Structure 1
């Protein structure tokens, strides 16, 4: 269940950051900044749901409220019967997790196979080396493009000036490590294969790569000649992970190529957008409320535990044992964990639901007893006890400074 919830939270963050990019940043010509925004936002999308934020909630403990005991023996009996006849239920979260993992593993295997075939069909034997970059001409399966430090070139019908422009274009992709971005996006698509936003996100990153390189080429060469080259080499290939020279729709690329540069002062937008996105997505982090009392460190003894009372007649009808106190861990059908404590007296019984980390405490005749003290009470003592619901039964000043839950108070019956 946790992994499914986490992935849904990541998906929501991805969608939110993508919306900010699409509606605010996409038309700005700060392509390098846009690239780093998209990468940082993707990283934040995976990190934010893992964070645990502690919220301190201070309150004033002005009075102690003792839990009311309810005469709900019939309700309790119904609950006990329900536990007995409950049938196993299908855990859809477990099934969803298994299906998710099967598909994710299949997609990962597919990516490994595609990359293995790609490198298997790529030979450096007849390549030209330019620094650390290998220029491979005439590859039978790959058009003009690049991946990592490999540049592929089909120049049979190209003029020398056009070849140089393509090489310059692809070298910028290699130098700026755009292939690393593509690999990160491919892995993200495997993890979030069910999320349509991640495919749009990947397209936005790829599109921005081309805008970034086109903008740089446009500063160094004639824009009209470069635009004509884009039209000449226009293709519609769907390669998985490497850059092709003219894969992104030409209309967008040519439009951005001839756009006027955005004014530098608009960079302030990034200072606002990313923090706003991060702060908004913190709603998908794990929130932990930490209550802090200002009653000089005393235990919060008035927590509203669920408390049930059974009369002695109900107790006899269920053939209860004579054990004064018991505590058992319960995992209910809704997936909740709690401890159920039960006290059985001569004239009735009561039970309460406590947190699994709670320490149990009770008051007997105004004196505080912890769980170990309760277990060692002699039978003669427990046989003489009855429930005490008076306002003065709980002595706040006697409660140790620890995580104690105090659902009951007792008093010794006055023998007539």
Structure 2
């Protein structure tokens, strides 16, 4: 919905700028300056939300005390461009699909109405140009068309349409002089601009107020010039005599279309003092406030809690690793393929070390040539494993092979270009619905890597060995400083907010890996606690799959599980034995015995016994 957010910000800008005009400028007689103000602020309103500036904060020295050991993992998560599990295998995975459909419907309706408005304006323009082919009189740049009916006594570009039969010679001369001002000042260009803006902001009442104010300013400007030759009173009488109720097309500048009361009143208004021109400077605070509100991001934007994954990274060779599920893409670490605007047949869609050495690719038990790696989508991959014999084995969710879209290919090219020769980069990616977002990624050859999506409105917390870094200083670190270290890409919690401050939606943390002292089950609650009989409840951001007997389930995306005082958050999880056993991936939990979060790549929870166990791998998760 980034496009809708942008349009709402544009509307907010136009509202404030118009309010300043209405209360401070509209009664001034500086008509040319008012016109410049209206046109300029309209364009600035579209520009401000489209620009983004970043303001760095100084690094804060804070110690990060780690109460628990994190098990290293080779993979890293990419939580955007998600596709849901196959609806046949996951019948309850409907929430996100419905949301996306509503977004698509809203997007389509908006552009349909905008297109209709543009077509109406284009039709009016073509209708005007059709009549403009029959020029009866040329006076300098003016091309006069005598037109006895329809839209008359008006102008468009340098064409003037007049009803010669109903006008005296004096009235004809006054109208031509009036329209000459419109032509000389290029008022029709303003009309074309405002018509385009009305099509884009058709839902905003402010844009119609802008249209009325700009047209009124045009007439004030032309009236002022025309009345100099014949006097204010005779000119006002002529306006009253020629008043008609007929409406001309919105693209033309009509001699008597605008409210006559305001025009006549302005004719007899004394010229504003030059000192009042300083009033225009008062708009600067308004512009600066809008710029700060809509374009300045303090530190760095980051993704909201519901869109963030947590992943741990450490060295590993040729071990199977889950990759890019249909609800939460995860990408295996790899050395960057040499791709720079390469043809599609040489663009590796799978991020895995030394793909060129594999002569056989087996996907869901079926053998393919290596060329399939340039065609398949990374979005549906469940796991991937390479062997020294040149065989690459890939499994996908639902045993379904998905082919890459043009957006998938564009994202891979963008990533390869951004990460070339770097261990850290931030670049723009595109979702399948066409919206764009920022993505920050770390990749250290031999030590793995990871990445997080970055949304506006939140900040990204960067912590290296317990110390907070700005992005500039974080990028100044060397790749060697990331070797032999684990990295987490996780959402923040209350503890992080207390320690580092509010406003952070996610964090990247790099720290030294300590040896893990065994994998024996450990208690997460007092064994005498009555929580064993507590009800298990869970929330997910993406989808849920239930077995036919409803005793087992698989939870996808932003999983939150509650059981008594046990609170689990994970990328994915599955329950067995009617909810007594819980397996979780990229997991963090707190309980009555663990007030500080315990995190690991894979964990098993026995809710009946009140124990948890760090494990190396979870099949099919």
TM-score of the two chains, using structure 2 as the length reference? 0.48
Mapped to 2, the partners of 1:248 and 1:400 lie a distance apart of 71
The answer as to 2:172 corresponding to 1:163 is yes
Which residue number in structure 1 is paired with residue 203 of structure 2? 194
- Aligned positions of 1:136-151 closer than 5 A: 136-151=145-160
The answer as to 2:216 corresponding to 1:133 is no
- Aligned positions of 1:145-294 closer than 5 A: 145-238=154-247, 239-273=249-283, 275-283=284-292, 285-290=294-299
Q: Highest Rg: 1 or 2?
A: 1
> Is the Cα contact below 8 Å between 1:14 and 1:197 reproduced in 2?
yes
> Is the Cα contact below 8 Å between 1:223 and 1:257 reproduced in 2?
yes
What's the RMSD between the two structures over aligned residues? 3.6
> Is the Cα contact below 8 Å between 2:322 and 2:330 reproduced in 1?
no
- Aligned positions of 1:16-415 closer than 5 A: 16-66=16-66, 85-87=92-94, 88-91=97-100, 92-125=102-135, 127-238=136-247, 239-273=249-283, 275-283=284-292, 285-290=294-299, 326=321, 328-329=323-324, 357-359=440-442, 372-373=446-447, 400=480, 405-406=509-510, 409-411=513-515, 413=517
> Is the Cα contact below 8 Å between 1:359 and 1:371 reproduced in 2?
no
Mapped to 2, the partners of 1:150 and 1:67 lie a distance apart of 79
Q: Give 3-state SS (helix, strand or coil) of 1:136's partner.
A: strand
Size of the aligned set, in residue pairs, is 334
> Is the Cα contact below 8 Å between 1:330 and 1:339 reproduced in 2?
no
Mapped to 1, the partners of 2:164 and 2:292 lie a distance apart of 53
Name stretches of at least 5 consecutive residues in structure 2 with no aligned partner: 71-83, 301-307, 313-317, 334-425, 427-438, 450-464, 468-476, 488-508, 519-621
Q: Give 3-state SS (helix, strand or coil) of 2:58's partner.
A: strand
> Is the Cα contact below 8 Å between 2:53 and 2:296 reproduced in 1?
yes
| Greater fraction strand | 2
1:112-131 deviation digits (Å, cap 9, x = unpaired) = 22222222233334x11111
TM-score of the two chains, using structure 1 as the length reference? 0.70
Query: Post-superposition shift, 1:178?
Result: 0.5
Query: Post-superposition shift, 1:39?
Result: 0.5
Name stretches of at least 5 consecutive residues in structure 1 with no aligned partner: 71-81, 292-303, 309-322, 342-354, 361-369, 376-393
| Greater fraction helix | 1
User: Which stretch shifts more, 56-65 or 259-268?
Assistant: 56-65
Query: Post-superposition shift, 1:41?
Result: 0.3
The answer to which structure, 1 or 2, has the higher relative contact order (CA under 8 A, 6+ apart) is: 1
